[in-house]
Amino acid sequence: MKEFIKRIFRKSTPEEVLNVEIELTESWIKYENGNSIGKKGSEGGKILNDQENINGARITVEANAGNIPFAVTFGIYGLLFHTEFFSKIETATEYFKRKKNEIDRILEMFEIPQDNQDIEWENKKDEYLEKLISE
């Protein structure tokens, strides 16, 4: 019975999906020079792509995260950490790309000198952070 259940509920991600290339940009580099690829990620899956923003963020896509086919986890160091789960690699990859752009926008806000940060800046920052984790 155990073998029958394993066959029915086997991992849904084939090995050929493991090479998920997502373009690096000026501020995004391979985390640990790519040495994390293929290792176990924070959600228990195999890391397919792992990038770090040189200004203080990281984003990772994993396959077979528990019972979930794909997970995308991102964080802005010292500020937030968030994970979303997906059934298709295409959806996870698109989410990964979109979140990289949104993280870039938030990190640019922090480049404003602190004495120029006002109430409007705080509200906009909170709005961007809320959008980052809710969409």
* pLDDT (tens digit per residue) in 4-14: 444 444 454 44
Domain ranges of the chain: 2-134
**CA dist., res. 74 & res. 118, Å (int):** 27
Kindly give the parts of the chain with pLDDT less than 70.
Answer: 1-19, 112, 114-117
* pLDDT (tens digit per residue) in 106-131: 998 877 676 666 777 777 778 888 88
Q: Which of 121, 128, 126, 84 is nearest to 103 (CA)?
A: 128
